[in-house]
Every structure is written in structure tokens, then in C-alpha cells.
Amino acid sequence: MTSYVLRRLAATVPVLAFVGLFVFFLLRLTPGDPAILIAGDQATTEQIASIRTQLGLDRPLAEQLFTWVGQLAQGNLGRSVFSDMEVTRLIGMRIEPTAMLALVAILMALAIALPLGTLSALNAGSRIDRMVMAFAMVGFSSPVFVVAFLLVYVFALSLGWFPTQGYVPLAEGLLPCLNSLVLPGLALAMLYAALLARVTRASLLEILAEDFVRTAHAKGLKPRLVVLRHALKNAAIPVVTVVGVGIAALLGGVVVTETVFNIPGLGRLTTDAILRRDYPVVQGLILVFSLVYVTVNLLVDLSYVLFDPRIRY
Amino acid sequence: MKSLTRRLALTAGLVLPLAALPAFAQTTLKVRPFGDLRTLDPMTTSDYMVRNHAYMVYDTLFAQDAKGLIKPQMAESFTTSPDGLTWTFVLREGLKFHDNAPVTSADVVASLKRWGARDGLGQQLMAHTASLTATDPKTITLVLKDRWGLVLDALGKPSSMLPVIMPERIAATPANQNITDATGSGPFMLVKEQWSPGSKIVYAKAPTYQPRKEAPDGLSGGKVANVDRVEWLIMPDAQTALNALQAGEIDVFEEMPPDMISLVKGNAKITVSKLAALQGVFRMNQSQPPFNNPKLRQAMLRLVDQEQAVRAYVDDKALYTVCPSFYMCDSPYFTDAAWPKPDLAAAKKLIAESGYKGEKIVVLDATETALSPQTLVVSQLMRDAGLNVDYQAMDWGTLSSRRTSKNPVEQGGWSTFASGPAAPDMTEPVGHLALRSNCENAWFGWPCDEAIEKLRAEFTMASDLDARKAIARKIQERAVETVPYLPVGQFWLVRGQLASLKGLLSPGVPVYWNVSKGR
């Protein structure tokens, strides 16, 4: 197990190196120049050139790459070309809102999807099943921003229950923080819940047809216990896999959700940095996202051991 | 289900009162600015957000009033010698920087020299300056090499780049290097540790600020901070900002898109007011065919009906002006001299005379900007007139880079783009962004005309307003022939605000002194 984890961790290095190089060159190929955006609409060519020199953007590409790699080796992601803040600090300031939003969204999605998926599987073919699947279809096909604006209109503007936008940091209290995340969390959770509900239903239906479930029923175990203790646990592997894969979809959804709800997280930082061609920030963010994705996949793989003792690493 | 509803209601009951508690027991004005603050240095960028930041934390020696006249601001008084060459400025008593250090003439001299190294008008002032010295701690003496008529206009310049006064230790930073310390002597001070780029900028009322006794007048007069804090909350999405304004989560929504005005009409809690006037500028690249041909540019001037173009963005007559001039319609230099009426037949005739042979015209359009609708209209008018338009949609970041290219269109070059400079940058011939025709040194598009440049130089030497007006008229008459750019209408950016706010000023630049809200 330990050697497997170490091997997997070692494998992240070439992945991150490839992603880093890819992003570095992709950004340089993208039209746009941060120096021009910093200088403003009325800047002269000399002023733009002066800013470019100051930022080191006039140096050869190879030199810029070596400088960046050298900084990375020391754990330094560089400085934002706009605010001159360290990229690590900028990312650090934005991690909490995104992490909280993602956590709330995942918990909401699981809270919605697992009961609905189970209910649907246990009542396969019934009206309940059709209603749950209809919900899943609508949830899966509704764009995040549409769901978000509908939620804001109903629960913030009409009923006034929640704020329309903004994020309250954890330091100001757990409840105010959660209050600010209810609508964005729900908007983000809808797509995820729809996907999970369908996977839970399909996986559970398959397990419910297995011999060991029939045996459990035959030995007189209560149906509730059969489902909770035997069926759901065995149906968990595909669900956990989708939870893991869904993190990527969630990171994509975070960009839109954070914009609509004005949450100062990593998603907003990413769009702002791309629009401004803030190369060091975009590079740092992509590395962080890759690291998160690789780590989540590793955790998902390791969690299989908990659900299926036959799996060994 | 009932128990779930009960639990939700209980949770809401627990959470909502907590959320309703005020975070601070002080007055905080929450503003959604039109953009984000990217840097802190108002002398290295013409970015309007940095200019607006500068008005929060700095003060200027002179400032423009509501009538466009230049008034003393940090200056108590000034005198000029009979020959007009020696100017003496005396600072007001009690001026202090945010770090409590007194404002001295040495700070003023250092600041103006730094500004003069970067700003266009500042560079002209310095080119005419023999010496700029601190005579005593309160007195500054400016000696000119020759009689130059724009000294006060330069020192009271209302828009980018502002001649703000900063401490000498900060002004000593080379002019090609950004300052990082925002200590000024203005009505608010930046709370830098709470600045989160892309999210929030926080200003606190400066206890050291000494406002003038007069009432505020344009950008001059008493700048009294009536709120304890001003928070600029960056919200890229306009719909989010509108939601926040409707819910009372913000007090001011800068640059509300005109199509949202109807959504708040009838809402007694929200009012809409004019924020800043812009001139739509449709710029043609004169370094490459086909717009290196003046006949074709003259055709464009006759082809475009400003009303048709500007109404694509805003349809309320109170919010746009069809202005037959290169100057803003409310400028003292406004003239409609030689301006042709829109005339498709005349435009087509000029196109034929120009010898245009169907060369590709690459139209760059930054679709997120206010000028995008005008660009679409002008593009269609060009197609209707038989021009071969290649419309290319992109973001502003890409456009601002593409427009620096002087290559042919086949090699990544361009033919036209649109922009919306603010009124103060389009008022008179010298500071005018798009009239400048000094070839390589002109704004992107690089118009080149010796006659206009000669007249602009004469303008700076003119002794009085009437003489300047006469020169401004001659410049317009010449520019109608050379067509350095195509004005596509003037329009107002609007701001939504809570009706409960009192004293929010509209001097053409968003400023937040004088405004108050109930505690």
C-alpha cells in the first residue's frame, strides 16, 4: 500500500511538469500582452516597452521558462504582473472560498443524490422513479448560470432569505459563512446531484439483483438493513468514482458560480488572470488545479479498499 | 417532507438574523466599480480605474470645476509675472499626508517632475520649463523658457494621467517603475492589507485630510469624506451587481448597462444618474491600406450616421448626443465647422473615387465593451456601401494587443477598432487622444498630418480662450479632410444608486467625497 502511494505520488511529478510546460507555451501563444493592459488605453509604445522590460517579458522565451522553473524548484510560483503580489499569496487568499463552496456543493449533492437514487432504484419503474429521473434529466441539462439566477430571483430577491452575492469568510463565523454559500452551493450541486442520482440508481439496481442480496432477504434481514448495510456499500465504488471524476466538473462549474455569486475564489481568479494575460497567476492556478485533480484521483483509488476488501495495492 | 420544511425554516431562522448583523459599527459605502484596480501608480498608466483610485487617496495642486475652469485645490494662491514666464504657487496651511507628515513644496516639485516624465501634457509642460523649484516649504516656483498657455490646464488636468501630489520619498521612484506605497494627502487612504486584487479594495476616511472650505464644485472645492469606509467590491457580472443593488447589498453600481435601466424603473429604492460621458471612437489604421487613403476615410465620415450607431448601445435620448464634432459637445471648443451630414450616395462616390478595389478590412471588436454594438452597426454600414469587411470578435485583452501591430491584415494586422475615451480626454486639441496626428507618436492608427500638429502647437501658445477657440475650429476643419478617426456618437455611462444616498457627485469621474448614508 505504502509503495503504491509513493509510486502514485512520484507519478504526479511528470504530470505536473507536462501540464506546467503546456500551459507556459499555450499562454505565450495566446494573443494579448499584459504590458499593454497595464499601461492603459493611452500609453505610448515606449511606455509599453518599458513595462514589458520591467516584467521581463522582453526576454527570450527559454530564459523566461528557466526563470519560472527555477522559481518553482524553490516553491515560488512567481509574482502577479498586475498586483505584484506573490502568486502563492494570491492563491492562498482565494483557496478558502473555493474549498468551502466545493465542500458545500459536494455535501449538498450527496444529500440530494443518494436518497433520491436509492429511492428510485427501490421503486424502479414506478412514478417515483420516473420523477427522480426527470429531476436528474432537468438538473443535468440546466446550465449552472440559469439555475443560479433562478435561485437568486426566488430565494434572495423575492423571499429575501439569502444574500444575492458575496462570501462571508469562515473567520466571521460558520453560520454566516454557510448562509452565504447556500445558493451558490445549491446551484453548483444540481448538476452534480443529477449525475450522482443516476449513477446511484444504476449501481444499486445492479447490486439488488445479485445473489448475496437475495440471500440476505432469505435469511430474514429487514429490507432497510439489506439496502443500507449490504447493497449501498457494494454500490459505492461507481458512486465514489463519479464523485472523484466530478471534482473536475465541479472546478469548471466553480468558475461560473463564483462569477454569478461574486465569490472571490480560485475560479474568479482564473478568469480574471486569463483575461488580463497574467501569466504567472494562470500558470500557478493550473498547477494547483492539476495537483488537486491528481490528489483526488489518488484518494478515490485508495478509498476502494474501504468498500471492497478484495482490492489490494 | 413536513419535518424537512420545519428544519429548513429553523435553520433559516437561526442563520438569517446572524447574517443581518452589521459587520462594522461605522458607515461603509459599498460600491461596485466598473473595473478592477490593477496597479497603484497613477503616473504609469492611463487606466481609468487607477485614475479613480488616485482621486480617492491623492489631491492635486489645481482641479477642474463643474464649468471646466481650473481652480486652486492644494494651492492657496498663485501669481504670474507680467511676462507670463514665472509662476509662483503657495500651498494651503495644514496639508498633511496620511502618514501625518506635512505636505511641502519639495513633495510637490518631486511629484510634478515624476508626472512630467510620463504624462503627455506633463511632458509638454516640462519641455517648456526652465526650472521648477521649492522656494520655501510652502512655495513652488515654476520658470518657463517661453510663454506657454496651458500651465493651469496641465496642473489641473482632470483625467489620466493625473498630476497628483505624493510624498517626495515615493515620488523619487523612477517614472518607469510602479510605486507600491499609496500614501497620499487625499480624503481617503487605502487600507492596503485589506486589498484583495480582483475582489475588494478598501479605503478609510483620512483623519489627516484638510478639505477646502468651499462647497464641492466639479472636481474642485471641499472634498469632505462623510463615510468612514468606502469598499470597492469587484463584480464582473452586471446582473450580479444589479441583484446586489436591488437587495441593498451595495450602494452604488457604476456603469449599469443601459438595458438594465428599465428593470429598476419604478423601484423607489433605486435611482439612476449620469456617471461619465464618453465619445465613441471608430479608429482606422492609417499605416496600412485601405485606410491610408484619405478619400476612403472621408467616405467613412459620410457613411456613418451617429444616431444609428449610438442607439445600438443606448436608446434613451437623454443618454446620448449626436455631436457633429471631434470635440465633446459640451466642450468650450465645440464646433461643427465643415462637418458633413450622413450621406450614403456621397460616401459611395468617395469610395469609388478612392480607387478602393475590395481590399479586406479587418474590423476588431472587443465584444465585452460598450462600443461593441456601435462596431456591429458600422460594420454593416460598411458592407452596405460595398466594403469588404472581415469582422473579428475577441476580448479586450486580445484587441489591445492586436491594435499595436502595424503589419498588413494578412499578417495579423488590423483596419479598425472602436474605443470610448472619457470626455476629459476628448475636450481640447492638445490632450485629445484621437486627434493627435503626430505619426509614430500618435495613438494606435497613427494618423500623420503636419498641419494639425502645427495648429496644436499654436493652440498651446494662444493667449486667451477666443484665440484658442479659433485654432480649435481650424483643427476641426483640417481633421474633416484628414479624418484621423470617426466619432460614432457621445453617450453617458450611468450609475445605479440607492435612493437613500445623499450628496453623490457627478463630476464626470466617479468620486466618493461628499456622499453620506444613514447610520
Q: Do residue A54 and residue A192 come from a single domain?
A: no
Report the mean per-residue pLDDT for chain B.
91
What are the chain A neighbours of B192 within 8 Å (beta carbons)?
none
Pairwise CA distance, residues B60 & B162, whole Å: 8
Question: Which of A46, A73, A100 is a domain's end point?
Answer: A73
Total tally of structural domains belonging to chain A = 2
Q: Do residue A66 and residue A94 come from a single domain?
A: no
Q: Do residue A182 and residue A247 come from a single domain?
A: yes
Q: Does residue A170 contact residue A100 with C-beta atoms inside 8 Å?
A: yes
Q: Do residue A37 and residue A182 come from a single domain?
A: no
Question: What would the pLDDT profile of B210-268 be if each residue is shown by its tens digit?
Answer: 999 999 999 999 999 999 999 999 998 899 999 999 999 999 999 999 999 999 989 99
Residue type, B467: A
Q: Do residue A178 and residue A154 come from a single domain?
A: yes
Question: What would the pLDDT profile of B351-392 be if each residue is shown by its tens digit?
Answer: 999 999 999 999 999 998 889 999 999 999 999 999 999 999
Q: Do residue A184 and residue A69 come from a single domain?
A: no
Q: Do residue A53 and residue A185 come from a single domain?
A: no
- Residue A313 within any structural domain of the chain: no
- Residue A256 within any structural domain of the chain: yes
Among candidate residues B290, B480, B486, the one with its CA nearest the CA of residue B389: B290
Report the mean per-residue pLDDT for chain A.
87
Q: Do residue A134 and residue A94 come from a single domain?
A: yes
Q: Do residue A64 and residue A157 come from a single domain?
A: no
Percent of chain B surpassing pLDDT 90: 78
For an interface test with B, the pick among A42, A55, A257 (most B C-beta atoms closer than 10 Å) comes out as A42
- Residue A82 within any structural domain of the chain: no
Q: Do residue A60 and residue A111 come from a single domain?
A: no
Q: Is B411 exposed, middle or buried (0-12, 13-18, 19+ CB in 10 A)?
A: exposed
Q: Does residue B491 contact residue B314 with C-beta atoms inside 8 Å?
A: yes
**CB–CB contact B19 A80 (8 Å):** no
Q: Do residue A172 and residue A200 come from a single domain?
A: yes
Question: What would the pLDDT profile of A68-98 be if each residue is shown by its tens digit?
Answer: 888 888 888 888 888 778 899 999 999 999 9
pLDDT of A212 strictly over 80 = yes
Which CATH number applies to B277-492?
3.10.105.10
Grid cell, residue B176, equals 518607469
- Residue A143 within any structural domain of the chain: yes
Pairwise CA distance, residues A293 & A251, whole Å: 9
- Residue A105 within any structural domain of the chain: yes
Pairwise CA distance, residues B239 & B376, whole Å: 23
Give the A window 31-60 contacts with B, CB below 8 Å.
31-33, 36-45, 47-48, 50-51, 54
Residue A119 maps to which CATH number? 1.10.3720.10
Architecture category of domain B35-183 in CATH? Alpha-Beta Complex (3.90)
For an interface test with A, the pick among B234, B398, B401, B407 (most A C-beta atoms closer than 10 Å) comes out as B401
What are the chain B neighbours of A277 within 8 Å (beta carbons)?
397
CA distances A270 to A95, A115, A274, A275, B94, Å, are 12, 35, 6, 9, 46
Grid cell, residue B162, equals 493625473
What is the DSSP pairing of strand B229-233 with strand B200-205? antiparallel
Separation of first and last alpha carbons in chain B: 42
Pairwise CA distance, residues B6 & B232, whole Å: 38
Q: Of the given ranges (B81-90, B116-125, B241-250), which has the lowest mean pLDDT?
A: B116-125
Residue extents of the structural domains in chain B: 35-183, 277-492
Give the B window 243-302 contacts with A, CB below 8 Å.
243-244, 246-247, 249
Average pLDDT (B196-209) is 93
Question: What would the pLDDT profile of B395-404 be if each residue is shown by its tens digit?
Answer: 887 888 788 8
The reply to whether B441 touches chain A by the CB within 8 Å rule is: yes
Grid cell, residue A31, equals 494573443
pLDDT at position A224, please?
Answer: 85
pLDDT of B21 strictly over 50 = no
- Residue A295 within any structural domain of the chain: yes
Q: Do residue A166 and residue A189 come from a single domain?
A: yes
The dihedral built from the CA positions of residue B11, B15, B16 and B17, taken in this order, carries a sign that is positive
Give the B window 420-439 contacts with A, CB below 8 Å.
421, 425, 433
Nearest Cα of chain A lies from the Cα of B333 at a distance, in angstroms, of 22
Closest residue in chain B to residue A156, using alpha carbons only: B247
Counted across chains A and B, CB pairs separated by less than 8 A come out at 152
DSSP per residue over B484-513, as a string?
Answer: SEEEEEEEEEEEEEETT-B----SSS---S
Nearest residue, CB atoms, A32 vs list B46, B240, B397? B397
Question: Which of A10, A44, A73 is a domain's end point?
Answer: A73
Which residue segment(s) compose the domain that A119 sits in? 87-307
DSSP per residue over A53-76, as a string?
Answer: HHHTTTS-HHHHHHHHHHHHHTT-
